[in-house]
Amino acid sequence: MNLPKEWIEQPQHILIVDDEPLMRSSLRQLLEGAGRVVSECASGGEAIGILKSGEIDLVLLDINLPDISGLEVVEWIKMGKIPTSVIMVSANDCIDSAIRAMRGGAVEFVRKPTELEDIPYKVDNALHRRHLERSHFMIAARLEQSERLHRFLVEKAPDLIYTLDPNGCFTFTNERFQSLLGYSRDELKGRSYTSIVHEEDAHLATFAFVERRRDHRATTNLEIRLKCKVDPQRHLERQHVVAILSAIGIYETREKKRDLQSITYAGTYGVARDITERKIAEETISFQALHDQLTLLPNRTLFKDRLELAMAQARRSGKMAAVMFFDLDRFKRVNDTHGHAEGDELLKKVAQRLQRCLRATDTLARQGGDEFTLLLPDLVHPQDAAVIAEKIMEELKVPFPVAGQDFCAMASIGIAVFPGDGESADQLLKHADIAMYEVKGNGKNGYTFFTSDMNACYQERIGLENELRQAIRNSEFELHYQPQISVSGSRVVGLEALLRWRHPVHGLLNPTSFIDMAEESGFISEITDWVLAEVCSQLDRWRGTGLGDIRVSVNVSPKEFNQNNVVDRFSSHVARHNLPADVLEVEITENLPVDDVSGIIDKMRMLREKGIRISIDDFGTRYSSLNYLRRFPINTIKIDRSFVHDISEDKTSSPIIHAIIGIARGFGLNLVAEGVETSYQMRTLYQLGCDEMQGYFFSKPLPAAEIEKFLRESISRSSAGAVEGGLPYQNQRRCA
């Protein structure tokens, strides 16, 4: 008989149990062959022992054994569910013995010696059946395991998996329905799919949930909202989830007469994935792109879009639309006195107040800083805008709480009306801005409509811009330097370069009077390049006269970091004079507005790699400080003068200063205190762990010639090692 190849390749274990040695030897000779292992024993007890200790595929068993009967061994095999086959080989002719053996589980009964020639054939058959039984068992086990795995994957899947009958009722739902939506399997079985679909999406679900197609036209990634079960015990935070649904039809094939087949629609199989968090993230990103992050009002982009829409509607309807440019007067005083955090809170409260004055169709937006714009569409008369402006002025009369005190806010409002004051959104905004500056020039706290006469003031501003352009060409700028002192070393370790404009009419101007205009008009990069060139040239001259290693810090406009060439521009000035890069330090304000955070960080990191130092000015005045230190490659932080000013003998030192000094130590940063004006402030800061300081106590900002004299005197004092009051620095004011 030809046995299966895979069966032959696996050894077959045969056990011969007979008390006659000659019979055992004869049977062995008959059965031995390739792929078989033949064992033998002479008693039933030995056979049971072998069957207990190892796997035997086939037992050739005699009935009459010296200890126990072969029939008892068969019964033991049956009772113990031993996985083996038995062929009885016996000289007993009793039919009862054969019947009892077959009932006990024997597969064959062979009489000896007459039927011994049939044994090889019957053994082959028995082993083949044994192999088939084993294969069937293994296939069944694999199928069961596969089914368990499939059931586990379906039940534990993160997606909603379901089947519907042809009527759209649930026949199966996995466990995710309960964990996500709150519905158990028993609750949904037999219910229509419409019971879990959001009412507003019912039209989308009509064909998607009960999809009949199963080709490329079948529903794929359809966005749909599913209702959560209302269950007080679950305390669900949301009433629905957003899911993307894919579904296909299920069909059954049935045999009909004459080899024909019938294909019948049996229902729908679908999978839905929860994308609620992704939708929230997308909506958040979309909201942030079009709204101010502080007040949550529309930003310039969204405001301009709505303004253009209002203008288009006004053209069709023949009505008007007005734009208000709103600026909060005296807001800078809040920032300077109480800090930017209180200023931010004030802006949010102002935004809330302004919204109370508006109609549902009006749009309030924040332009930036303390500037807001208002869009008033669908006006019949220009004076309708004046009504809103008066409501705003009246609303602002109620004081705002700022740092535990009442702050009376005032506003300057400029109004431009479409179509008379401009044909484009940009023109309307510009004219409203001009009108707002007209109010400011006339004492603030009021409103006015734009007129053509106001262009004269605008032209004056343009004239000042031209003067600034001329100042760049005529080199009307100059630098003053304020020393930064190491108290412990009794020496100057750095200078802060401060820009001045020697105006031919108005005299010496500090940057606050023209830097904003330079930024707005686009001159700031030219001014920065002039400052850097002058600083590096001066450093080169000082180093040539033996004034030693002095670093100079330069205040840089935030707009510089929007320039792609900022790194090359800054480093080129240092390289041109062959200076060590670390003698130049770039100061940024802590409220540096960064639209492209990663890009700004990359540029700063490249500056650091070239050796140029980075410092944060006015540190501690905004909530973003720690975020700056964590993300930006900083060398130095400067304690803001407002915190230093609070240090006096009748007050305890500010815990903020303690915190800033601790932060500097923790991050391994250099620390400089600004605005030191008294000996007590110097001593207190030094005792707290701040060694480097600047301020009028040491020296006011001085021109280059005078600061050079100061540097030489500082070197002399350091060499002499002068000490006063236990501190290494000689307490000597230089506020002349």
Q: Where do the domains of the chain lie? A: 5-147, 156-280, 292-450, 465-720
Alpha helices, DSSP H, located in 95-229: 95-104, 119-155, 176, 185-188, 202-208
pLDDT digits (tens, 9 = 90+) for 651-693: 777 788 888 898 888 888 999 999 999 999 999 999 999 999 9
pLDDT at 321: 93
Q: Which of 402, 329, 334 is nearest to 642 (CA)?
A: 334
| CB-CB contact of 146 with 137 (8 Å) | no
Residue 734 token pair? 């230089």
Residue 27 contacts by C-beta under 8 Å, 6 or more apart in sequence? 16, 18, 40, 60, 89, 116, 119
Given a cut of 80, whether residue 134 has pLDDT beyond it is: no
**Closest residue by Cα to residue 569 from 539, 601, 606:** 606
Q: To which CATH superfamily is domain 292-450 assigned?
A: Reverse transcriptase/Diguanylate cyclase domain (3.30.70.270)
Residue 389 pLDDT > 50, yes or no? yes
CATH class of residue range 465-720: alpha beta
The string of pLDDT tens digits covering residues 308-358 is 999 999 999 989 999 999 888 878 778 777 888 888 899 999 999 888 888
- The mean of the pLDDT values for the chain is 84
For 40-57, what is the mean pLDDT? Answer: 88
Tell me the CATH number for domain 5-147.
Answer: 3.40.50.2300
| Residue 257 pLDDT > 70 | no
SS3 content of the chain, % helix, strand, coil (to 5): 45, 25, 30
Whether the predicted pLDDT of 635 surpasses 50: yes
For the structural domain made of 156-280, what CATH number should be given? 3.30.450.20
Which residue is it, tokens 């205190």? 673
